[in-house]
Chains A and B, each alone.
Chain A
Amino acid sequence: MVDNEIGSLTSDSKQHPMLKFMYQSWWKYVSVLILIYVILMGFLYAAPAQHILNESIRALHFHVPMWFGMMILFLISVIQSVKHLRTGDLKYDLVAAETANVGIVFGLLGLVTGMVWANYTWGSWWNGDPKQNMSAICLLIYLAYSILRSSVNDPEKRGRISGVYNIFAFCAMIPLLFIIPRLTDSLHPSNGGNEGFVVYDLDNSLRIVFYPAVIGFTLLGLWAASLRVRTRMLHYKLLKLV
Chain B
Amino acid sequence: MQKLRKIFTGILLAFFHIGLLAQGPATRPEMADVMRSNGKIYVVVAIVLLIFLGIVFYLIRIDRKVTDLENRWSDKI
A interface list, Cβ under 8 A from B: 3, 6-7, 10-11, 23, 25, 28, 32, 35-36, 39-40, 43-44, 223-224, 227, 230-231, 234, 237
**Chain A nearest CB: distance from B69 CB in Å?**
6
Q: Is the interface of B mostly helix, strand, loop or mixed?
A: helix
Tell me whether A227 and B63 are in contact (CB under 8 A). yes
**Among the listed A3, A43, A234, A237, which residue makes an inter-chain contact with B66, where contact means beta carbons less than 8 Å apart?**
A234
Contacts of B52 in A (CB 8 A): 35-36, 39
B73 within 8 A of A: yes
**A7 to B44 Cα, complex, angstroms:** 49
**Among the listed A28, A35, A39, A230, which residue makes an inter-chain contact with B70, where contact means beta carbons less than 8 Å apart?**
A230
| Size of interface on B: residues with Cβ below 8 Å to A | 19
Tell me whether B45 and A40 are in contact (CB under 8 A). yes
**Among the listed B45, B53, B60, which residue makes an inter-chain contact with A43, where contact means beta carbons less than 8 Å apart?**
B45
Question: What's the A-B contact tally at a CB cutoff of 8 Å?
Answer: 47
Tell me whether A39 and B45 are in contact (CB under 8 A). yes
B41 within 8 A of A: yes
Query: Beta-carbon contacts of B35-77 to A below 8 Å, as 1s and 0s?
Result: 0000001001100110011001001101100110110011001
**Chain A nearest CB: distance from B41 CB in Å?**
6
Closest B residue, CB atoms, query A237: B73
Tell me whether A231 and B49 are in contact (CB under 8 A). no
Contacts of B41 in A (CB 8 A): 43-44
Contacts of A39 in B (CB 8 A): 45, 48-49, 52
**Chain A nearest CB: distance from B61 CB in Å?**
11
Closest A residue, CB atoms, query B41: A43
Contacts of B74 in A (CB 8 A): 7, 10-11
**A224 to B53 Cα, complex, angstroms:** 15
Tell me whether A227 and B62 are in contact (CB under 8 A). yes
Tell me whether A6 and B59 are in contact (CB under 8 A). no
Provide a sorted-by-A list of 17 A–B residue pairs whose CB atoms are within 8 angstroms: A7-B77, A10-B70, A23-B67, A32-B56, A36-B49, A39-B45, A39-B48, A40-B49, A43-B44, A43-B48, A223-B59, A227-B59, A227-B63, A230-B70, A231-B66, A234-B73, A237-B73
